[in-house]
Amino acid sequence: MSEEPIIKVQNLRKVYRLGTVDVSALRGVSLEVDAGEFVAVLGPSGSGKSTLFHIIGAMLAPSGGTVRVDGLELGQLREAERSHMRKRTVGFVFQRFNLLPTLTAEENIRIAQHIAGKADADEDHFQRIIQFLGIAHRLRHKPFALSGGEQQRIAIARALVNKPPILLADEPTGNLDSENSLAVLDTLKNLNQELNQTVLMITHNPDAAAYCTQRVVRMKDGRIV
């Protein structure tokens, strides 16, 4: 018997209430991602890809359908369990790097260990990640002293420091120039190919999606097309 997909979404629906009007952001989306895949969800603004991202990351509740992430049925989890899942199962990378400006790069990474309550943090894993990402020599710098590409690699290290089985990347090149965008996309591709990291990336940029040589899922008007 084949293993269960690490992400399994079935007939997912999301309706937002805006005043007296219901707006359907997701209209019966089904998607499976296997462990070790690098999958891009490509679509224009308003296609529903960000809503899908936030539901898979347990940051938003669906209006209908089912979502299983790493064996957990998200609809059956209490809020405390959803919070625990976010800390241990999913690493998040966003368009805005979300680094704390008063902390050094290393402190910005290690704060994820603190939030997850990992007193027994794996120091070997920390060193392996920062070496892999090529940021070991920048750890004492604060965000203002780092390039955009370096800041995003710090954010990726923060997302990976607790060994999440899934990395969710939301428009990870949206704030970067072409050179730094390519560097970050290369990083994600190498994480997938060399460390077998499962990556689900959402983007509106076809060039970014093209880095996902395994599979590109296209969305439009709340549906997979």
* Residue 93, H or E segment: strand 90-93
Domains and CATH numbers, the chain: 35-59+79-224 (3.40.50.300)
Q: What is the pLDDT of residue 158?
A: 95
Report pLDDT for 140: 96
Angle 19-23-26 from CA coordinates, rounded to 5°: 150
Residuewise pLDDT in 10s, the chain (225 residues)? 458 999 999 999 999 988 889 999 999 999 999 999 999 999 999 999 999 999 999 999 999 999 999 999 998 888 889 888 888 899 999 988 999 999 999 999 999 988 877 656 688 999 999 999 999 999 999 999 999 999 999 999 999 999 999 999 999 998 899 999 999 999 999 999 999 999 999 999 999 999 887 899 999 999 999
pTM for this entry: 0.92
Judge whether 174 and 147 are in contact, CB under 8 Å: no
Taking the C-alpha atoms of residue 50 and residue 41, their distance in angstroms, rounded to an integer, is 9
Q: What is the pLDDT of residue 75?
A: 87
Encoded amino acid at 197, one letter: Q
Q: Are 93 and 154 in contact (CB under 8 A)?
A: no
Q: What is the pLDDT of residue 1?
A: 40
Q: Round to the nearest angstrom and report the end-to-end CA distance of the chain.
A: 29
Q: Give the closest residue to 85 by CA, choosing from 55, 57, 64, 60.
A: 57
